[in-house]
Structure 1
């Protein structure tokens, strides 16, 4: 796929600085030609525009890694079932996408770029459709909120009980729709627990600025509400074959998947030392520290280091959690799991590279609203 990947990247560079306009034109063309498709999308389209382009760029960037390309697109196809996407919609989307890029690329756009995107989109669509067809699960699950607790002014911990069994692995994430408050808007969150017999899922959510979904989940969601949950995704899971000690680095509510992985480890771990680094801006943002400390007191193989970056009176470590990790170690023989905001994850990955931690031993997920 060398030539195809080159043509795609070259052509994308022609429109990259206009990507917001490309996305706006794309949706306008699609909705004008097929008005019925508008009902599949949320009322607020600002975030949806960026999600479309993120998916396109990710697909383009993985073309040179066929295995990752295949897994990503099949998972994307399974995930899109929650939008009630039908096979005939793919052709409409492909035509609108190529026309939108052509309209903003200028005179440098040529027939070879048209053909490259047509070929690439055909592969993308076929793999997404295959992923959707192979999924035996429902497009989404309904779940009842059975507990909701505000841990701070902008953080909530709540528990959902799906009405049907929902299988997932510790460390994965799910898309949630706050159905009564923001229908057709989906955001990804990780359960803070490993699979349990009662099928319950605990989520940790911070309300982010103008975040439509996160604000609803923190400030408006209540016990008895019904929400929707989509199929689990993500690869930040444990390899039970590994005998290496492990390091978990969590920022804010990025602690959720870490707690999920820790809960799984409590069920079988006897030989691996596990170090948790939990960072936040202030001590109030260390919203689940008490429970984390209880785990450490119960399991001798677990140690916890906490840090605050904007709380000079905090008695623990001071600074960004990525810098705190560097003060300990050495870490080049450990498995790493990193979860938090985009900037926090990026800073931690940079630190680990400087510490010469092999990339194949690092798994991570970053979350925004």
Structure 2
């Protein structure tokens, strides 16, 4: 372990102690301070903040798309890549004080594979059961890190279910050719296999102190966290009008339509609006739903979203396009919550993160 330094976060006035061997985001999470983040790999910029005081910071590798050199020179930083070598004062640019102060402790554990079922030609519905410890707490919409068997690498996947007493966790995971975790999940996993995990991560959680309408926009494995939120809303009797816009390429890329239809009566004014961006000839014959980019479909259905909360999850280009569309339709930027499913290494990661 290295020397320790104090990092103070403004404008919330929270201080933590950070070891030089830890990045700032990790240190905060271990101390129950839930800062905004996404990929944890320096690619999505969700944790981008500004250094008010202090200069001695070292960085793990990161994408200059997330933190361009000129922004770094002006004082911006990525908390998931930054190591403090002196006391710092950090201004949080993207934060939610309710979430920051309600963080759950990170917990490592072992899970056992219960099932691994295909839900589309390239996505799996993985279900695991906690073996130890007795409990790993999480909020609906958060994600779990898996250690890839036979390696020290981790991959992150969003829970598709709300917390439950049985220690069951469900995931919707996209299979990539030659992906590190994908290859295991596609060709090697067996029921009963034990996996090492850590959770919870992520801030894609429902803000409990609001009653505004909800707009969900997702694509691909972005089904997972939204499904977790919708299931939790149904269980908890949350009476907020919700619409879920889901983008897929073709009909064979759609999943969970029956469950979403079954959830509808348990939710207030719920609508599920799937759209095909690249319908093939077989789709054209039997598809009577929406076609086109999911952001265009949102525009067609929504004229004014002022006052709504929006949750967006999927690949970075889709997320960026959706945020632009939603703000143009009246959603306040501070009320748009997102997960960018960036890729790690071999085209792999949080539902690709």
Cα displacement string for residues 129-177 of structure 1 (whole angstroms, at most 9, x for unaligned residues): xxxxx99654x21100011111233211011111121100001111112
Is the Cα contact below 8 Å between 1:148 and 1:158 reproduced in 2?
yes
Partner of 1:325: 298
* Residue 247 of structure 1: how far off its partner (Å): 1.0
Pick closer, same or farther for the CA change 1:240–1:219 going to 2, 3 Å.
Answer: same
The correspondence for 1:173, drawn from 143, 152, 160, is: 143
Q: TM-score, normalised by structure 2?
A: 0.67
Could you say which structure has the higher strand fraction? 2
Cα displacement string for residues 4-48 of structure 1 (whole angstroms, at most 9, x for unaligned residues): xxxxxxxxxxxxxxxxxxxxxxxxxxxxxxxxxxxxxxxxxxxxx
- Higher relative contact order, structure no. (Cα contacts within 8 Å, ≥ 6 residues apart): 2
SS of the residue corresponding to residue 291 of structure 1 reads: helix
Which consecutive residues of structure 2, in runs of 5 or more, have no partner in the other structure?
Answer: 1-38, 62-74, 76-81, 91-102, 349-353
Residue 63 (1) aligns with residue 50 (2):
yes
Partner of 2:323: 349
The correspondence for 2:180, drawn from 187, 203, 212, is: 212
Pick closer, same or farther for the CA change 1:290–1:123 going to 2, 3 Å.
Answer: farther
Structure 2 CA distance, aligned partners of 1:247 and 1:97?
35
Partner of 2:67: none
Q: Which consecutive aligned stretches of 4+ in structure 1 deviate over 3 angstroms post-superposition?
A: 50-55, 123-127, 134-138, 297-300
Residue 263 (1) aligns with residue 250 (2):
no
Structure 1 CA distance, aligned partners of 2:84 and 2:198?
24
RMSD of equivalent CA atoms: 3.3
Shifted more, 317-326 versus 214-223: the winner is 214-223
Is the Cα contact below 8 Å between 2:175 and 2:186 reproduced in 1?
yes
Matches within 5 A, 1:42-53: none
Matches within 5 A, 1:86-235: 121-123=84-86, 138=107, 140-163=108-131, 164=133, 165-179=135-149, 182-235=150-203
Cα displacement string for residues 220-274 of structure 1 (whole angstroms, at most 9, x for unaligned residues): 3221111121121111111222110111111011010001111111123353111
Is the Cα contact below 8 Å between 2:121 and 2:253 reproduced in 1?
no
SS of the residue corresponding to residue 196 of structure 1 reads: coil
**Larger Rg, first or second structure (1 or 2):** 1
Which consecutive residues of structure 1, in runs of 5 or more, have no partner in the other structure?
Answer: 1-49, 67-90, 99-112, 114-118, 128-133
* Residue 353 of structure 1: how far off its partner (Å): 2.3
Is the Cα contact below 8 Å between 1:206 and 1:218 reproduced in 2?
no
Aligned residues: 264
Partner of 1:365: 339
Structure 2 CA distance, aligned partners of 1:188 and 1:333?
32
